[in-house]
Amino acid sequence: MPSQRTYDAIVVGAGHNGLINGAYLAKSGLNTLILERRHLVGGAAITEELHPGFQFTTFSYALSHIRPEIIHELDLVEHGFMPLLMESLLAPMENGDYLLLGQDEQRNITEIRRHSKHDADAYQQFTHDVAMVVRAIKPLLDSIPPNIVSKEPEELVRMAALAQHMRDLPPRVIHNAVRLLMGSAADFLDDYFESEILKASIASSGIIGSKVGPRSQGSGLVLLFMAVGEHDGDQGAWAFHKGGNGGFTQVLATAARAFGAEIAVESPVDTVTTDNGRATGVVLADGTEIEAGIVVSSLDPRRTFLELVDPRELPSDLVESINRMKFQGTSAKVNFALDGLPTFPALADRGPEPYRGFINLGPTIDYLERAFDDAKYGWFSKRPYLDSCIQSTIDPDMAPPGKHVMSNFVQYTPFELKGSDWDTERENLGDTVQAVIEGFFPGFGDLVLHREVVTPLDIERTLGLTEGNIYAGEFLAPQMYFFRPAPGWNQYRTPIAGYYQCGSGTHPGGCVMGGPGRLAASQIIGDLEAAE
């Protein structure tokens, strides 16, 4: 329980954004309390022992987008920050062949040439073109967006600066950016490549966590968002934290406490209290009242605006926008404890080396699109796309010696099933996923010691993410930047003075990025300084 009944600032939710926000507020000198309803911090970024000796990254499983500024400004290395590079991408094919990419660019081009000389020649142009778009949009990810509906001089200046930034870009970069932001991943990739395995391996990044297929408008936006990730200055590289994402959020909690923040678990917030349009604190589920002049919600927009406060205190257009916001969770996780290392037959003599990264089970664009077809009509994919990782090849401490843990991110699993429900279908999904893996890794089923199936309903129940959407709101163009989570309320403030938002449903969005937590803290601290 909280040690006091009055604080300068209260942060609701100890997911990674809440912890980052609370750490920055405490660092600025505010007496800060972070409240978490569960028994452990981390939100979706946790590690649990779900089978004796095996550590599972139950929900999210990779450090994809953590902003470098956060690492430095919060002294995370001093508190145990230890990212481990995900070294490779293995994409098995249905004919027994594979595509295996790693850290050596020339070896990658040689590997691509095995499948297509044309694609090997085009690969550098593709990576250059995407890198140029990433360079163009990255400053927008790390700054507070303009308020597009405001007539305030400051906001008009910011809009003008944004327009100037766009005008200064080369025409090819602008065109590629628009194509990615508004178009499909498949269409964009068709301009460069002919090899199905290469196109599918890249296009799969455009469907992660979203109700879009590779040929759908919107998949280009997700593809671009995933390309923004970096590790140790290497654009596009991903990492796995020592001890999983739970290890990372423990580092954040340690940093927050070092700056003076207090963290209370098993302390669910029922209501944000207000007086004359200003936040005054929170009431916990057990009735405990805690006062604070600043309250920050790291929950998703629906819970931030429609549950923690009375919607009657909010403008009707904001309430309407939040009610119309699309969540549409379509992702599940299936995690395995394994008695040994699964192997792809063509790589049986290579040991663990090919598996120290992502394993992409979705060999063609048609495969991915057919998986999406099932979801469009209210059912989980008969042959789902799996974004897999044998994490114990990267961090051996995740499993006992000689054993392994395998994480599988599953597309597509719609939150609402037509004619059934997830409590009924949970194990059927697990069987379907296991059968897909068996098809590429013969004998996989004989290695399974334990299986955990996490459906979109489980994600909503456990984490409070509406409809199980891992981004706290779909990545769709009408729900990004100026409009995340709603026009006029994209700068972390709310209509209630002193009440702010810092979750993944705000700019720049989801994944283990931390941008919303950091930028919201900047806004809060700036508002306090302006009021002095």
Confidence tier at 3 by pLDDT (50, 70, 90) = confident
Report the alpha-carbon distance of residue 435 to residue 386 in Å, rounded: 12
Q: Give percent of the chain with pLDDT exceeding 90.
A: 93
Distance CA 416, CA 485 (A): 23
* Residue found by looking up tokens 């063609």 in the block: 364
Residue recorded with tokens 């950016």: 177
Cα–Cα distance between 105 and 305 in angstroms, integer?
Answer: 47
CA dist., res. 464 & res. 483, Å (int): 22
Helices (H), 102-205: 105-115, 117-141, 153-167, 171-182, 185-190, 196-203
Domain 6-45+64-82+242-326+476-531, CATH? 3.50.50.60
Structural element, H or E, at residue 454: strand 448-454
Fill in the DSSP letter of residue 311: G
The strand pairing partners of 126, in sequence order, are none
Specify the DSSP class assigned to residue 146. Answer: P
126-140: pLDDT as tens digits: 999 999 999 999 999
* Per-residue pLDDT tens over the stretch 196-225: 999 999 999 999 999 999 999 999 999 999
Q: Name the 3-class secondary structure at 92.
A: strand
Is 194 buried (19+), middle (13-18) or exposed (0-12) by CB count in 10 A? middle
Tens of pLDDT, residue by residue over 438-458, are 999 999 999 999 999 999 999
Q: Provide the pLDDT for residue 238.
A: 85
Of 49-53, 62-66, 109-113, 435-439, where does mean pLDDT reach its minimum? 62-66
pLDDT for position 93: 97
Q: What is the per-residue pLDDT across 285-340, written as a single tens digit (0 to 9) for each?
A: 999 999 999 999 999 999 999 999 999 999 999 999 999 999 999 999 999 999 99
Tell me the Cα Rg of the chain.
23
Q: Is the CA virtual torsion 335, 336, 341, 344 positive or negative?
A: negative
Domain ranges of the chain: 6-45+64-82+242-326+476-531, 106-234, 327-463
Closest by CA to 500, choosing from 37, 38, 10, 8, is 10
Strand partners, 263: 34
CA pair distance 307, 290, nearest whole angstrom? 18
Contact 290, 284 (CB under 8 A): yes
Distance set, CA 180 to CA 12, 67, 213, 216, 514 (Å) = 34, 22, 14, 11, 23
CB 468 within 8 A of CB 429: no
Does the CA dihedral 144-499-517-184 come out positive or negative?
negative
**Over 80: is that where the pLDDT of 64 sits?**
no
**CA gap 95, 93 in Å, rounded:** 5
